[in-house]
Structure 1
Amino acid sequence: MIVAPARSNRKQITGNAALFYVAWQLSRRGWHVMPTIRNARGSDLFVANGDETVFFGVQSKGQSAKDDIKVATVREGNVIDHVMSDWWIITNEPSSDQPTCYILTKVEVAERAKRDRDGQCWIKLTHCHEFKNAWDRIGMAPTF
């Protein structure tokens, strides 16, 4: 019998499901993927090709069926200064049988982030259709 997680654990489980779904998708494309320490500032995944000539960081965000996602808390300055990873992959409903991922560069995240009165920056996924399941943007790992 499967028991639903306690309310306090749902957010963490959603984040973990998103992280490992993204790692699986990148691994399928020939990339070597290493998760970093959770809840640390910066990338959630470090990614490299087989001979380690190409490297990039991925920020993974997971959510359960929302239209927007929090990007950063920015009290002063530009959003781009607070967006660290090369790629951002936002996974909607990662625990479902068919999660949806939005694949954006850090520049695209910063360009689309809207700041609220509290300094929280959000991206509205309904405005990101061109990034929906766009794994070809990252592509297959190059081999030399």
Structure 2
Amino acid sequence: MSDNLNNSKIGRNQLVSNEGLYYVCYQLSKRGWNAMPTSRNARGIDVLIYNREGTKMHTIQVKALSDRSPAPFGSKLDNLIAEYVFIVNNLSKEPNLYIMDTQTARGLIHEGEKNGKKSYWFQPNDYEKFKDNWSIIGES
């Protein structure tokens, strides 16, 4: 990797996103799910999971953070189309995983506006209520 990419904020954010995505896939696999990351350009869905028999399938959006901070959702929420939202934080030390359905997440996401531009984010105090909430996706 070039030094420019490695030292840039964009390059670091891409690495954190990848770390979080594969950490979530690892955790799902440990629980018996087949986890398939989507193309990094796929709109709104980061992971497709299905059970061994192929009778249960779910879609997941992953938000990855290097530490305990708000999870950004960008300037519009129309990309929030997966069934579940997984937030993984503290990736630089010992990761924590927070799991909720998208409808619940939508109700807790904050909206702000600065210089005429909207932004959406999830505060740690809101998403931390869902730590290791594996029961929401059910058994594989």
Give the TM-score, by structure 1 length: 0.83
Counterpart for residue 70 of structure 1: 72
Structure 1 residue ranges without an equivalent (≥5): none
- Aligned partner letter, 2:135: D
Q: Given residue 106 of structure 1, which amino acid in structure 2 is its aligned partner?
A: T
Q: 1:31 aligns with which of 30, 33, 48?
A: 33
Check 1:13–1:82 CA distance in 2 against 1; reply closer, same or farther (3 A cut).
closer
Query: Within 2, Cα distance between the matches of 1:119 and 1:131?
Result: 26
Number of the residue aligned with 1:99: 95
Q: Distance in 2 between matches of 1:128 and 1:58?
A: 15
Whether the aligned pair in 2 keeps the contact of 1:72 and 1:82 (CA below 8 Å) is no
Q: Which residue of 2 aligns with 1:129?
A: 128
Paired residue for 1:114, among 104, 110, 114? 110
For structure 1, which segment, 44-53 or 59-68, has the greater mean C-alpha deviation from structure 2 after superposition? 59-68
1:91 alignment partner AA: V
1:4-43 matches, within 5 Å, as 5-7=6-8, 8-43=10-45
Aligned to 2:63: 61
* Residue type of the alignment partner of 2:18: N
Which segments of 5 or more consecutive residues in structure 2 lack a partner in the other structure?
none
Q: TM-score, normalised by structure 2?
A: 0.85
Displacement of 1:132: 1.4
CA RMSD of aligned residues (A): 1.8
Question: Relative CO higher for 1 or 2, CA cutoff 8 Å, sep ≥ 6?
Answer: 1
Work out the CA distance in 2 between the residues paired with 1:6 and 1:67: 21
Match of 2:80 among 76, 83, 86: 83
